[in-house]
Chain A
Amino acid sequence: MTESSYPSDVVSFVTGRRPLLGSFRSVVLVPALTPSAAGLMPESERLGRWLALWDRWFMDALHHAHGGVAAHRHLLYDRAVALKLPAMPVSMVAIETVGEACRALALGFELSVPVATDADLEQVTATAERMPMQRLTLRLPADGRAPSPDRWVTALEALCRRSVLEIAGPMARVRELGTSASATLAATTHVYLPPATSDAPPPVDGAGCGLRFAVHVAADGWLYPCRGLVGLPPARLGHVDDDIADTVLGGRPYALDLARLAAAGPGRGPTEATARAGGESGSSTTVVDPGRAAMPAVCLSHRSQVAARSGTVSGRAPAALDDSQ
């Protein structure tokens, strides 16, 4: 089965009082959980070139939106590229190349990275000194490993001066490390992200997908509108090696109604309805899939719908990272 199982239409990113363009003003890089021959993500210089093309598309589209830049100037703010690494890489050079590409385009760069050892801490601190980051998330692994408390607090106190800091991990362990006792950290705005404590899918803030949309770039270079649809061919917006004009961003017909999804979400599909019948809304799961742990039920449901309609053999969600990994 092919994408032609879906009716297709050209997506307008520029029409309306609140153009869809606003939902795609940021990029999320979705690395592979394990390195493949192609690597964790598209090669950094290739990615940098694509970011420049995407940024040019965005600025041109803004000029063509109803009312032009004057009416939508606010969409120029809060544009960022976010990357959540599954593991600390041997070298941060590729990450720093992407970060520099973001800086050249005046885009924010947000990095989330697991920190299990003092060496990991040193590596991320050195990167932060070389490359400004809008937001830095440090994730303590679920296996109980952590940097030494002294090094941890010293590093946090240095890092919080450069970025908005987020610390992910069980609060008991975060506190044992002395994090919340640091007066230096307390003098900044910072965020703790406790991990999910049950097998229930994480809650999702808002029925519409618009606040969760971004251009998601998978490790193999395919582009998607959201995390939940990564890996499904009918949901592809294009590829980093395509000219923007040959992608959905540039007017190629698309199988999904992005405007409706942005405003109202996918609605209830058979999977979600079944799940709801079996338990409290938002908290039950019926799909046994190792990738489901960090994906909201509504996203899993929609993924299953898209997979089923396209005849994709498996709606298996890409293994997702939760904040404890």
Chain B
Amino acid sequence: MCYQSAGPRGSDTLGDATLERDVLLRVVAQALDVPTLEPRLQLVGGEALLRLDDCLAVVETAARAGFQSISIATNAFWARRPKVADAHCARLADAGLTSLEVSFDAWHLPWVEGETVSNALEAASRRGLPVTLRVLTSRDHGVDDTLARLRPAALDAATRIHCTTVASTGRAGRELAPGEFLARGDLTAACHRELSLTVNPAGDVFPCCSGLDQTRALGFGNVRERSIVAIAAEMSASPLLRRIVFEGVGSLVPLLEHAGVTVADPHSSICSLCWSLFSRDDCVTALRALFPEEPFRPPAAAGD
């Protein structure tokens, strides 16, 4: 959920929700029974490595279950000292982690320094662990601003440096000026190639981790109550989700406007548009009426 919603006090949308270890392990052990799932697992936060022991258990379980790519996204807070960074990377690699993703950009700066991130990149490289540096950009915060804060040797230690624009979802959508966002793609595009079956900290399942997972209107299922395999099957059969994923979330806009809902806000990406539509009460009310068979939560539950 990253900058979209997470912070020291939990998620803006979900509060201080967290998944219990036994739930995590059960989901990971079952997930590859979802027939359309690629054997890739990623742990993200918040900051997943605040729970190092749980992460190690998840990684070990995932490796035994047959996941072939197992990665963790982290802000590298644990790498303030190189020896500790080395120890962390060794433990993670020995547990079966196949790659690390380190997020660093202007919005991480108040909490994590460039030297710390540099330590993490170099430690992963020493351990033989592929490491991707993930950088988000905006109009006022370019790639160079971030790269300049890292040691040159650390930059060359990264396996990949992946740069993309910050999306106008979650906290970013609320706190950054509209002009900060750089347009990303075409609002008529579809997202079927970008999906990641996502379990959010509350245990709810979504088809992506780019914004819809931080809304509460739709409730396909919670992994504390149902198996992820059953939930995924129901999502695959959902006409609403299939419309969003294959035709694009933009295909909902004419339906909403016909129902009297104005969707005029500028959106920098389809993720931003999707998050907005499922966050706005008027949009959700209209969608509930347009798609009565879909598992929309009752208004009170959706607003909790």
Contact = CB atoms under 8 A, between A and B. Distances in A.
Interface size, A (range): 35 or more
A192 B192 contact: no
B28 to A, nearest CB: 16
Given A191-B160, A208-B68, A263-B66, A186 B130 contact: no
Interface stretch (A29-37, A114-122, A220-228, A275-283): A275-283
Nearest to A170: B156
Given A74-B36, A186-B182, A191 B156 contact: no
Given A208-B39, A211-B68, A282 B155 contact: no
Given A171-B156, A205-B69, A192 B127 contact: no
Contacts, number: 125
A187 B182 contact: yes
Given A171-B147, A194-B156, A206 B193 contact: no
Contacts of A263: 66, 68
Interface in A200-227: 200, 202-208, 210-211
Contacts of A190: 163
Given A175-B147, A206-B68, A71 B35 contact: yes
Interface of B: 32-33, 35-36, 38-40, 63, 66, 68-71, 93, 96, 98-99, 125-130, 137, 139, 142-144, 147, 152-153, 155-165, 182-184, 192-193
Given A186-B142, A189-B163, A197-B156, A280 B99 contact: no
A195 interface: yes
A203 B182 contact: no
B250 to A, nearest CB: 19
A119 to B, nearest CB: 27
Contact of A17 (B35, B137, B183, B184): B35
Interface string A15-36: 0011000000000000000000
Contacts of B164: 188-189
A14 to B, nearest CB: 14
A181 B142 contact: yes
Contacts of A181: 142-144
A183 B155 CA distance: 20
Contact of A207 (B98, B144, B153): B98
A210 B39 contact: yes
B39 A211 contact: yes
| Residue picked from B40, B68, B127, B155, most chain A C-beta under 10 Å | B68
Given A171-B147, A181-B142, 6 more contacts: A171-B155, A193-B161, A204-B98, A205-B98, A281-B93, A282-B127
A172 interface: yes
A57 interface: no
A180 interface: yes
Contacts of B36: 71-74
B39 A203 contact: no
A74 B70 CA distance: 20
Given A207-B68, A208-B39, A282-B128, A183 B142 contact: yes
Nearest to A168: B160
Nearest to A78: B193
B187 to A, nearest CB: 15
Interface in A274-314: 280-283
A263 B32 CA distance: 12
Nearest to A166: B160
A175 B145 CA distance: 11
A6 interface: no
A180 B184 contact: no
B182 A18 contact: no
Contacts of B40: 211
Given A77-B192, A186-B142, A282-B128, A180 B157 contact: no
Contacts of B63: 207
A185 B153 CA distance: 23
A67 interface: yes
B155 A194 contact: yes
Nearest to A262: B68
Contact of B184 (A170, A189, A210, A282): A189
B160 A192 contact: yes
B286 to A, nearest CB: 30
A202 B165 CA distance: 29
15 contacts: A74-B36, A180-B143, A183-B139, A186-B165, A186-B182, A187-B182, A190-B163, A191-B160, A191-B163, A194-B159, A197-B153, A207-B68, A208-B39, A208-B66, A282-B127
Nearest to A195: B156
Given A186-B137, A187-B183, A205-B98, A194 B161 contact: yes
A205 B39 CA distance: 12
Contacts of A280: 126-128
Contacts of A192: 158, 160-161, 163
B34 to A, nearest CB: 10
In the A-B complex, the 7 residue pairs with the closest CB atoms: A282-B128, A192-B161, A171-B155, A187-B182, A208-B68, A206-B68, A189-B164
